[in-house]
Amino acid sequence: MARFCLGFSLTEALCLGAGLAVSGFCYYMYRKKKKTADELDNASHINIDGNLKDTLEVTPGARLQYAVVEGVVEPVGEPLRSQCHEDFVGVLNKVEVTEHRLGLNSLYSALFKRRDKPVLHKQVRSVPFVLRGSDETAVRVHCPLKASGLNMEILYKRFHQVSHGFSVLGWYFSGVKSNRQLETEEMLRVGTRVTGVGELTLDPDGTLNLRPPSDGSKYFLSMAGYDTLRKKHRAAAKVWKYLAVTFALAGAPALGGWFVPYYYQSFAKGGKLRVQDGENNQKN
């Protein structure tokens, strides 16, 4: 097998390169998750009450770069009504239809784990809303669709069987069979308690606002609560750290496969030289 100038075989070089590449990606994700977890740990936890405006008025720029607030969802104006349950109202609504596909050949199954779920239809509606605190104080939420961590309540979920018609020939060539379609409706309902993490500002007219941080920090809206959100990202950072170490160690055998023969050969050459020197000394 061909070897490089440093003594690596092609297989060893590929294993080492793949291990370092995956380890580098995992380390990048670890640093990213750790940064988010640290920012959540250091975020200011602010109560939505009558003292909030006073706090922001004495803060430079009338803003807190990264703050945590918790409140109850209330619409600004008319709320949205569910398409499947007319009695349910909310401020965010998502209706989605996905197609569940079944792989009929080994290649497709290996690449896509036997299941593929392309989105056939997606409709997202939203209305302005605020987070109401313990009194009449409210914080208006901006750009909620840009926030992470918002898993809305599922109001409707139903599978529909697909009528295939004369598509058997298409299955044969594509290796993919359309199995069924899933229709779901999700909603952030009025009265839901939500935790928001972002930039908190006070406008000159006295309006309190929560928006994505201008410094690029992660923007969150979550129904799980602040402690759950913080622990989730801390745990994710640990997982990526362990993966980075694991893949880095996976490349170690390739280095070992080079270092051991290299030092063995060096030791053997040194011993041979010492034997030759001893024989020359005896002859002299």
From 129-143, 146-160, 166-180, the region with the lowest mean pLDDT: 166-180
Q: Is a pLDDT exceeding 50 seen at residue 2? A: no
pTM score, two decimals? 0.72
Q: Please, which pLDDT band fits residue 208 given cuts at 50, 70 and 90?
A: very high
Average pLDDT, the chain: 79
Q: Please, which pLDDT band fits residue 263 given cuts at 50, 70 and 90?
A: very low
pLDDT digits (tens, 9 = 90+) for 75-115: 998 999 998 888 899 999 999 988 766 554 444 444 444 44
pLDDT digits (tens, 9 = 90+) for 126-150: 999 999 998 889 999 999 999 998 8
Q: Are 234 and 163 in contact (CB under 8 A)?
A: no
Give pLDDT, residue 165: 53
Give pLDDT, residue 160: 75
Q: Are 80 and 58 in contact (CB under 8 A)?
A: no
Helices (H) and strands (E) in the chain, counts: 6, 13
Q: Please, which pLDDT band fits residue 158 given cuts at 50, 70 and 90?
A: confident
pLDDT digits (tens, 9 = 90+) for 64-85: 999 999 999 999 989 999 988 8
Rg of the chain's alpha carbons, rounded to an integer? 30
* DSSP line for 63-121: EEEEEEEEEEEEESSSPEE-SS-TT-EEEEEEEEEEEEEEE-SHHHHHHHTTEE--EEE
CA 207 to chain centre: 32
